[in-house]
Amino acid sequence: MKTLIKGTLISPISKEEVLFLDPGYIVINNEGKIDEIYSREPDGQYPEVFDFSDKLICPGFVDIHNHLPQFTISGLYRGNLLEWLNNIVFPTEERFANAEIAEKYAREFFQAVLRNGTTTTVSYVTIHKKATDKAFEQAEKVGIRAFLGNVLMDQKAPEYLTKNSAQLLEDSEEIVKKWDGMDKGRLHYVLTPRFALSCSFDLLEGIGKLAQKYDLYIQSHLAESKAELEMVSKIYSDFENYTDIYMKAGLLTEKTIMAHCIYLNPDEIDTLNRTGTKISHCPSSNRFLQSGIMPFRKLEKAELSIGLGSDVGAGYSLSMFSEMREAIESSKMIKFLHPEKEYSPLSSIEAFYLATLGGAKALSLEDEIGSLDVGKSADFSVIDYQKLNPCNEDFFNEPENIIARMIYGGAEKYIEKVFIRGKEVFRTE
């Protein structure tokens, strides 16, 4: 059975180019994939037709870094990264030992993610196996694309949030077997060492082996704050630098996403490039915890693949519009801080690319998600166009202006519906 969708299509093609069809038509096949895209109403009979005239059809966002248990503590500042972890994050994550709480949080979290127009989320859960299982159950139920992992820590964290490395790897393997690749790849397991500080080298090496055995995704944090860097260099004094630890443990692969990457030297950037490691840019979190500003253009110039992460709860919002805004504004700050350097801040179109195709690429899924294109999954949101342009200004109808208004106008509140694989998974009441 084929479905016809009518609306104003806006979607990235590249970092510079955008598809804009007003009106546009999408034909979706019974597998939930986009069969055709037209600029005129196609002939033929469609058993199901959705007329979204005066609405924007925008590809679902891809949030490649956030923390499920932290979404109700976002905005609660308790000092820099290490202080904040000890003061507020760890006590919150402890509560996930209770499976009922874990289930409730997961349900609320995924609904909040969808409400913001994000159709793919890459999330840390907690150390608890049962909580991670509950998160997968809820993701399966609400229909979201979810990449999830139990947080792995065997040192330098409260006892209630650590286990020995053998136990952690055993837990992970069990969850991999149950959930990785479920529902034709809608759900994936991600090996999730929190960061080098909270993991022994034995554990990191074990994770590397497991990744290889099952061809798994890996996510972690890298070079986020100066205090963290100092502690890592003390604990891992035999290694050349922070990146070298992950490298020697076998954790840097094409399926690895490293968040933050603020303080990297040229050798480290080169290592990330050689291994195909992907970067999650988390600008709101970097500012919130006073960690620093990621040198976006430097990493981009080194041809690293970069996507955007809300990093909730250090990021204060699950909205990728908000994160795009932060990405642009933080790049302007670099210009302020280094007026002597040639530096062009991010454009709205570039930020839009990062939150969609950039994220898809970071997951090596650019042939499946991240834009409205023939052969890809029909993952999109429906946004009220009139509310973005209440005075009906003609000049507004340029794709660059529309994207800028979405980013700066807080378009999440105008999202009316969200579809994944052509099926509605969220609608406003």
| Residue numbers at the binding site for Zn ion (CB under 5 A) | 311
129 versus 194: smaller Cβ distance to Zn ion = 194
Token pair 């402890």: residue = 94
Residue 300, amino acid = E
- Please report, as a single letter, which amino acid is at residue 279: I
Question: Cβ distance 269 to 279 under 8 Å?
Answer: no
- When the beta carbons of 197 and 406 are compared against Zn ion, the nearer one is 197
**In this complex, which beta carbon is closest to Zn ion, that of residue 228 or of residue 373?**
228
Rounded CA gap, 352 and 321, in Å?
8
| Alpha carbon distance 349, 331 (integer Å) | 14
Please, what's the largest Cα pairwise distance for the chain? 68
Residue 7 vs 307, nearer CB to Zn ion: 307
Nearer to Zn ion, 7 or 358 (CB): 358
In angstroms, what CA-CA distances link 309 with 215, 225, 306, 319?
23, 17, 10, 10
Nearest to 113 by CA among 420, 371, 421: 420
- In the chain, the amino acid numbered 33 is K
d(C-alpha 68, C-alpha 93), whole Å = 10
Find the shortest distance in angstroms from Cβ 252 to Zn ion: 18
* Minimum distance from residue 171 beta carbon to Zn ion (Å): 20
CB of 180 to Zn ion, least distance (A): 21
| Shortest distance (Å) from residue 282 CB to Zn ion | 7
Q: How far is the CB of 69 from Zn ion (least distance, A)?
A: 11
Least distance in angstroms from the C-beta of 291 to Zn ion: 10
In whole angstroms, what is the distance from residue 301 CA to residue 207 CA? 30
| 228 vs 311 by CB, closer to Zn ion | 311
